[in-house]
Amino acid sequence: MGAVLKTPLAQRVLGPIDRIDQWIVRLPFVKPFSISSATWTGKEALLLRVESEGISAWGECVADPDPYYASETTGTAAHILRDFLLPLVEPEITLGQLEQQFRRVRGHGMAKATIENALLDLLAKRDGIPLHTLLGHAARPIPSGISIGIQDSEEELLDAVAEAVASGYHRVKMKIRRGCDVDRIAAVRERFPAMALMADANADYSLDDAAHLRQLDAFHLTMIEQPLSYNDIYEHSLLQKQLATPLCLDESIHNLADARAAIDLGSCRVINIKQGRVGGLMEALRIADYATSRGVPVWSGGMDETGIGRAVNIHLQTDPSFTIPGDTSETSRYFTRDIVTPSVVLDDAGFIAVPSGAGIGVEIDEDALRHFTLEMKRLR
Ligand code: OSB
Ligand code: MG
């Protein structure tokens, strides 16, 4: 049951903006996180703070400093925000008009989402309502899933999965790559026969690997995420025809049009929606609606966000279209110290409580923010 809003989101006027500041922060990870194309030892993120009449609103860019997951980087996002997107942010225009203006800037969904997220936080805080209420959804406990990076050994992987299961995570995703896949999945499956398990290849395979990937059908995975190129939709449709296991697209989906193409071509049977990858919450909700109308379930991915982006992902998952546990894990899995309070924690049943305060509903820990700041700039 969605809350009734006086004005549809797209018709909301932005209102006065007194100041915009940008931070680049780097939070060290508890342990390195490896996917097929990269290893990260910390989360570097660009943050925006928009100030209006005493309200501080925040947006986190999900880009990494490198282009190993997506083509956007912290550096490209800073450039596009400063030179092309922020100049379009005017007090008298509506959110819908802003989205329309943003279309002239091609791509750069991560940069667009950063300012969109901050403006939605601002509007919600002005109304004194939580972000999920602004989006039209009611709070509900969010089932938590976990994404386990590529481990150095099978033993370390089994330990990590055992720890995740003991913590109550509702679904385990393990990262795979060429040469580190079938045997590892077989070992996890043998030890945990009934657990909801999936694998994410981060685009490491090609269509020539179809016969190899078909071996994974033996392990009743809930899905295989992005086996083929980050840039592909068509070849995934050919691969899906050869596999019983549902495919899920992540990297390939940048907007609603990509989602339509992927679903209509039969390239995937599930979509990983990262709101920060698709240009923001409004496009994420449109993709979720379309996918649901076509019988395709969606879930919220993650980008190892700080507490700002993680809170946004939690609010997004109040949309009933998000029927599969996402990659939103406890803060302590990533960081010893975060830049917001409170931390994300799981309850005894593996659920996350949606913040109930205004906007994103978490407070910036100014000391921690200062501690992790690499650079800060006033943009307006
Ligand atoms: O492919 O989903 C991915 C993290 C960084 C970049 C890409 C991905 C991931 C994750 C971790 O899988 C998600 C999370 O725990 O936030
Ligand atoms: Mg992925």
Residue 257 to residue 267: CA distance in whole angstroms: 13
Cα(first)–Cα(last) distance of the chain, in Å?
A: 39
- DSSP code, position 207: G
pLDDT band at 7 (very low <50, low <70, confident <90, very high): confident
- Near ion ligand 2, which residues have CB within 5 Å? 200, 225, 250
Task: Reply yes or no on whether the pLDDT at 72 is more than 60.
Answer: yes
Indicate the SS3 state at residue 38.
Answer: strand
- Is 377 labeled as catalytic in the residue annotation? no
What pLDDT was estimated at residue 4? 52
* Element containing residue 359 per DSSP (H, E): none
Cβ(303) to ligand 1 under 6 A? Answer: yes
**Which atom of ligand 1 lies closest to the CA of 226?**
1
Q: What is the pLDDT of residues 318-342, one digit of tens each?
A: 999 999 999 999 999 999 999 999 9
For the chain, what percent of residues have pLDDT higher than 70?
98
Cβ(147) to ligand 1 under 6 A? Answer: yes
What pLDDT was estimated at residue 295? 98
What pLDDT was estimated at residue 1? 38
Residue 202 to residue 35: CA distance in whole angstroms: 7
SS3 track for 127-166? HCCEHHHHCCCCCCCEEECEEECCCCCHHHHHHHHHHHHH
Pairing of strands 197-200, 172-175: parallel
DSSP E strands in 209-334: the ranges are: 224-225, 247-249, 270-273, 298-300
**AA letter at 67:** P
Cβ(302) to ligand 1 under 6 A? Answer: yes
Token output for 192: 């945990």
Spell out the domains of the chain, with CATH numbers in brackets: 8-128+366-378 (3.30.390.10), 142-364 (3.20.20.120)
* Element containing residue 69 per DSSP (H, E): none
Mean pLDDT for the chain overall:
97
Find the DSSP H helices in 202-306: 210-214, 234-242, 256-265, 281-293
**Which atom of ligand 1 lies closest to the CA of 274?**
2
Cα distances (angstroms) measured from residue 78 to each of 47, 281, 282: 10, 20, 21
Distance 45 CA to ligand 1 centre (A): 14
pLDDT band at 6 (very low <50, low <70, confident <90, very high): low
Which residues are registered as beta bridge partners of 341?
A: 363
Residue nearest to atom 6 of ligand 1 (CA): 303
Q: What is the pLDDT of residues 176-196, one digit of tens each?
A: 999 999 999 999 999 999 999
Cβ(301) to ligand 1 under 6 A? Answer: yes
Residue 170 to residue 150: CA distance in whole angstroms: 20
**Mean pLDDT, to the nearest integer, of 20-33?**
98
Task: Reply yes or no on whether the pLDDT at 2 is more than 90.
Answer: no
pTM tops 0.95, yes or no: yes
Residue 131 to residue 121: CA distance in whole angstroms: 6
Catalytic residue among 173, 241, 274, 377: 274
Catalytic residue among 112, 175, 241, 377: 175
Nearest listed ligand to the Cα of residue 169: 1
Candidates 204, 198, 293; CA nearest to 248 is: 198
- Is 274 labeled as catalytic in the residue annotation? yes
Please check whether residue 188 is in contact with residue 151, taking contact to mean a CB–CB distance below 8 angstroms: no
**Mean pLDDT, to the nearest integer, of 290-296?**
98
Nearest listed ligand to the Cα of residue 70: 1
Residue nearest to atom 1 of ligand 1 (CA): 202
Q: What is the pLDDT of residues 119-150, one digit of tens each?
A: 999 999 999 999 999 999 999 999 999 999 99
What pLDDT was estimated at residue 257? 98
